[in-house]
Amino acid sequence: MQKNEQIQAFIEGEVLCFDKPLGWTSFDVVNKVRSMMRYVLGIKKLKTGHAGTLDPLASGLLIICTGKQTKSIESFQEMEKEYTGTFLLGKTTPSFDLETTVDGHFPTGHITHELALQAAHKLSGHQEQIPPQFSAKKIEGERAYEFARRGEHTELKARKIVISKFEITRFELPEIDFRVVCSKGTYIRSLARDFGKELHSGAHLKSLRRTRIGNFQAEGAWTIEAFEQHLQALADPKA
């Protein structure tokens, strides 16, 4: 595809899959991709958005839509998601992940592989899950994490979710690796909390990667660096 054709395709509407790096917010990626397309290709105005937020401490698939394809964002958000990651047993944090420091210690000596499998089975299927206090849920116009960072507790309502698969892929206490396939609205950090409680212990999320949204895969998705090189090649008059 020639430069002018690609520019027109971006403007009219494209669905782009990116591998979000650790430490970046989802909006960081959107802003970076939009600014690269505008600067490198000379596009003055470009409507851009993402389909499904990933926490800064998570990596993996982020779908970015341009132009008319931004109208498809809601349908992508409704799609089934797949994640892999690691729970750390025996310790809890207020955010249920590494964003905050450890606030509780719990025994793990009684936990066996069989008990972990039983807990995963119990937390599979239709569930009612309470979102984390450190989440982007809105309460009276403010994000829940804004209250949490001020040390203010808020009551978050449980929401119905579906966990269609919850597999234990590595059992080496205090770490447990997992693969989860779930519905929209599932918080894997909350699953870490619930998993720890189910094991009569505590747990938080050590690492997380989104590997799939519907039929879109993280494997083969653009990195920021590769996409920038692609754009520069398109912009090169000698190409």
Active site residues: 55
DSSP for 107-133? Answer: --TT--HHHHHHHHHHTSEEEEEPPPS
Question: Is 231:41 a contact under the CB 8 Å cutoff?
Answer: yes
* Pair type for strands 138-139 and 142-143: antiparallel
Matching residue, tokens 């349908």: 75
- DSSP lists the bridge partners of residue 16 as 64
Q: Whole-angstrom Cα distance, residue 131 to residue 163?
A: 15
* Pair type for strands 203-213 and 58-66: parallel
Question: 3-class SS at 79?
Answer: coil
Question: Which residue from 173, 177, 195 is spatially nearest to 186, judged by alpha carbons?
Answer: 195
Q: Give the ranges where 13-111 is alpha helix by DSSP (H).
A: 26-41, 73-77
